[in-house]
A and B are shown apart, each in its own frame.
Chain A
Amino acid sequence: MRRIARAVTAVAALALGLLYLTPLWHIGLTAPQYPEGLGLHIWINKITGEKPQDLNSINGLNHYIGMKEIVPESFPELRFMPIAVAVLIGLGLLVAVWGNRKALYAWTALFAAGALAGLADFYRWGYAYGHELNPRAAIKIPDMSYQPPLIGGKQLLNFHADSWPALGGWVAVLVLVTALTLSVLEWRAARARSG
């Protein structure tokens, strides 16, 4: 690896440290009665309301349609993700120090696989959250489910839900794009040298 590529790898790996400080994902809800909106922030280690009481409010509202309460303590992912991110940062720094091109490819692949797995897990949770409804719920609408969108917007009864990466999510995307770009550039540089 060229020196500049190693430096960029180190910066990219360290940038992932921001995930401990800022949420990964944001789900926003607005309704006629909630012009101010309700929101959830998903961090690598916790789920919080956008405003202090939003998580309670969302849980309170969702009981009418029989959705389960969101209890952050019940998510094993929130215990696992901080470790996974720490490992990624450590490995990224190792790649930068070592300067091995193949190690860079491996790190990029590992990160990409982790991100995809995370999204898949998020989809799986969203599906269960929106479909596993209490049969004694007060409001039952035939064929209606309340799965939040994986990404983008969706109308769920009176609520419009929006799901997008939050600052931490965009940092992760940027780091991944950087890693992919570096890998491609390093590969082409190596091919030019050998050609």
Chain B
Amino acid sequence: MSQSISFLTAAAVLLAAGCGKASTPIGAAGDAASRVYVAPGQHDELYAFMSGGFSGNVTVYGLPSGRLLQQIAVFSQYPEKGYGYSEQTKAMFNTSYGFVPWDDAHHPQLSITNGQADGRWLFINGNNTPRIARIDLTTFETHEIIEIPNSSGGHGSPYLTENSEYAVSATRFALPTPQEDMSIKDGKFGGMLSFVKIDPASGHMNLAFQILVPGYDYDLARSGKGPSKDWSFFTSYNSEEAKTLLEANASQKDRDYIAAVNRKAAEQCVAEGKTTEWKTPYAHNLVGEDGVARTEMLRSQRVLEVGSCPGVLYFLPTPKSPHGVDVDPTGEFIVAGGKLATTIPVHSFSRLQKAIADQAFDGEVGGIPVLKYDAIVAGEVENPGLGPLHTEFDGQGNAYTSVFISSEIVKFSLKDFKVVDRIPTYYSIGHLLIPGGDTEKPYGKYMIALNKITKDRYLPTGPELTQSGQLYDISGDKMKLLLDFPMTGEPHYAQALPASVLKDKSLKAYALADNKDPYVTKTESAVKAVRQGTKIHVYMTAIRSHFLPDNIEGIQVGDSVFFHVTNLEQDWDVPHGFAMLGAQNAELLIMPGQTRTLTWQPQRPGVYPFYCTDFCSALHQEMQGYMRVSPKGSNVPLAWNGGTGTLGK
């Protein structure tokens, strides 16, 4: 949705001007500065995890200050951390298509227990080559990525169930299912709703089952909570099943569908063996206990075809090309952001249950019963602005919907579905975030608009401008803008939770004693270099302020040198870096107690330095060494200093 939206944006600006609605030039509340000021040395009240969108990363911010705390490398190679370059992390990017070192990261979601964030893991989806990643929240590192087969545009994901039993994923771009060569125009496409089981102890993911659905574009998802905890909801657009110029061709019908999946019914059918085995390959990449990521290529999935399992899936007619589908804290209301609709429809879960019991159907589509709109809708929010997308909740009976085209947030009451307040965003909000606003017990207090466009809000930086977050105070009746802050792009969804849940669990250093890396070197007396054919394994240590060995001879052009560098430090905030002249990959950044491996293929004879890149100590500049490279076939023996090496100090 880019081109059509641009025109609509222009139209909205004209409309706003026509209404004579004045917006304040700056927009901030009078006491905003004191509300967001976190004094030097003080900590923020909340952690916020923002999707990095096409950067493939997750960014961590402190709230309310809006200070950037960390970037977590997930779906993109990240040379600064050696992520995706080091031998221990390369496998994270394996897919059934080979090494795919980038993805489009959209929707972070914190693991939940009893409908509340528990601070164990953060899950996030990759949209392009559909994947779900799991980030460990003691280390803030990505520990697992699972590819979703038979799917594309993994957008409606991960949206966990009430106790993190499952992450879900949907197909945004309908495909031949299973894949085959066919005419785009005439081919029959399908979609897939995937359920990924999460192990409650380890967090490990495995694809439990998939549900084959008609070839619409399944967009976003939410799993229910409370009474609706056994259900997951997926919006769809393009029930027209257009395959070209979707902006018009997929916008013809007044209503599309929310697919409502009864997960318990699906589990039952899967247990009864009503599935078909499909054989699409997909990759599962997991960091083992030794800290090394490995790939398991899987080739079998259980697919549930709707006809074989009645009662598992219903379509809720919903105006028009709905985007977000968000379930309120009580689990009763399902708010759909009909992005081309003139109202925000709110479905009722209890009415939905009754409609199913009463068989209040409006026929079937592709074997899926379509429920009667009037039988399930609880209300429609009138005058919600143009282009409602996503909704979060404050736990006080209010819902807050982001509205893209009119660039605002509307607040409405879940009692009477009347708009009670609205406030502009600068500009073109996508998702919005209320801390815990998607859980059963929202933290409330703040709200963040995640804006796609900033135009004049910051100093210009050429054609490409920053994206932004805007922090609002929602503790009173009226929403108040407190702060703008730039964000790496493009921010989609975000999650936040109180700092107290996470900060004491944050790891300070990996225990060297527990380091199980196959190439660990735990003491300086154990350092060595070993030749295996044309491979040289260097078992190296780093500690303030030297590497050992730091002189190695006997390397030849044509060799591959593996620097297995173990950081012997056990002190807080003392990583070491490792960079090798001419290495065709990246640096290593090695946390205390960790081992990381960089591969170097020397090109020409000579002597080449390596050094520590992370300013570690007063003698950081001296933390350097040399590799001697001889011509191929040279008789210079392999030698090093340290351990039992024969080169002197």
Contacts and interface: CB of A to CB of B under 8 A. Distances in A.
A155 interface: no
A57 B622 CA distance: 20
A64 B572 contact: no
A36 B509 CA distance: 15
Contacts of B622: 138
Contact of A60 (B509, B571, B572, B618): B571
B372 interface: no
B543 A60 contact: yes
A56 B572 contact: no
B618 A139 contact: yes
A53 interface: yes
Given A60-B543, A60-B544, A53 B571 contact: yes
Contact of A64 (B570, B571, B618): B618
Nearest to B570: A53
Interface string B528-554: 000000000000000111000000000
B326 interface: no
14 contacts: A36-B572, A52-B570, A53-B509, A53-B570, A56-B570, A56-B571, A57-B570, A57-B571, A60-B543, A60-B571, A64-B544, A64-B617, A64-B618, A139-B618
Nearest to A138: B619
B569 interface: yes
B47 to A, nearest CB: 20
Interface in A35-75: 36, 52-53, 56-57, 60-61, 64
A60 B569 contact: yes
A57 B508 CA distance: 14
Contacts of A139: 618
Interface in B508-527: 509
B446 to A, nearest CB: 28
Interface residues of A, number: 10
A52 B570 CA distance: 9
A64 B619 CA distance: 9
- Please name the 3 residue pairs, one residue from A and one from B, whose CB atoms are nearest each other, closest first: A53-B570, A57-B571, A56-B570
Interface of A: 36, 52-53, 56-57, 60-61, 64, 138-139
Contacts of B572: 36
A174 B498 CA distance: 45
Given A53-B571, A138-B622, 13 more contacts: A36-B572, A52-B570, A53-B509, A53-B570, A57-B570, A60-B571, A64-B544, A64-B617, A64-B618, A64-B619, A138-B618, A138-B619, A139-B618
Contacts of A64: 544, 617-619
A159 to B, nearest CB: 13
Contacts of A61: 544
A59 B396 CA distance: 55
Contacts of B618: 64, 138-139
Contacts of B509: 53
A60 B617 CA distance: 11
B597 to A, nearest CB: 24
A60 B543 CA distance: 8
A60 B509 CA distance: 16
B114 to A, nearest CB: 34
A64 B618 CA distance: 9
Nearest to A52: B570
A57 B543 CA distance: 11
Contacts of B569: 60
Contacts of A138: 545, 618-619, 622
A64 B570 CA distance: 17
A36 B617 CA distance: 17
Contacts of A60: 543-544, 569, 571
Interface string B587-628: 000000000000000000000000000000111001000000
Contacts of B571: 53, 56-57, 60
B233 to A, nearest CB: 47
Interface string B569-587: 1111000000000000000
Contacts of B545: 138
B585 to A, nearest CB: 30
Contacts of A56: 570-571
A57 B569 CA distance: 8
Nearest to B622: A138
Nearest to B569: A60
Contacts of A57: 570-571
A136 to B, nearest CB: 10
A47 B340 CA distance: 71
B614 to A, nearest CB: 14
Contacts of B619: 64, 138
Contacts of B570: 52-53, 56-57
Interface in B44-100: none
A29 to B, nearest CB: 12
A51 to B, nearest CB: 9
Contacts of A52: 570
A138 B571 CA distance: 20
Contacts of B543: 60
Nearest to B513: A52
B511 to A, nearest CB: 9
Nearest to A36: B572
A36 B508 CA distance: 12
A134 to B, nearest CB: 14
A101 B154 CA distance: 88
A53 B510 CA distance: 11
B66 to A, nearest CB: 24
Contacts of A53: 509, 570-571
Nearest to A158: B618
A146 B543 CA distance: 23
Interface centre among B509, B570, B619 (most CB of A within 10 A): B570
B599 to A, nearest CB: 29
B567 to A, nearest CB: 12
Nearest to A56: B570
Nearest to A35: B41
Nearest to B41: A35
A53 B512 CA distance: 11
B88 to A, nearest CB: 23
B309 to A, nearest CB: 54
A61 B543 CA distance: 10
A157 B181 CA distance: 73
Contacts of A36: 572
Interface centre among B543, B569, B571 (most CB of A within 10 A): B571
Contacts of B544: 60-61, 64
Interface string B350-362: 0000000000000
